[in-house]
Amino acid sequence: MVGFAAETTDVVQHAKEKLQAKKLDMVIANQVGNGLAFDKDYNQVTIITKDGQCELPFSHKTRLAGQIVAILAANLQNGPK
């Protein structure tokens, strides 16, 4: 199961807490506020799993979506750990 975390502070820490509290397999986290994320074409996200985290650099949301789908597909193909 995948969750999303739009946070104003301590993005990674809050996302890790959400991962554990909600028993998720993955959390896609990003910072919001101060002109970030909402109504913008570009963003940066951090993908967090129980095995670690991966930062996707600031880029167009369409590109980020493709990268997220590829990571999800790879995780599905590899199966649960």
User: Per residue of the chain (81 residues), what is the pLDDT tens digit?
Assistant: 999 999 999 999 999 999 999 999 999 999 998 877 778 899 999 999 999 999 999 999 999 999 999 999 998 887 655
pTM above 0.75, yes or no: yes
Domain count, the chain: 1
DSSP 10-78: -HHHHHHHHHHHTT-SEEEEEE-BTTBSTT-SEEEEEEEETTEEEEEEEEEHHHHHHHHHHHHHHHHHH
Domain that holds residue 39: 2-78
Q: How far apart are CA 29 and CA 12, in angstroms?
A: 7
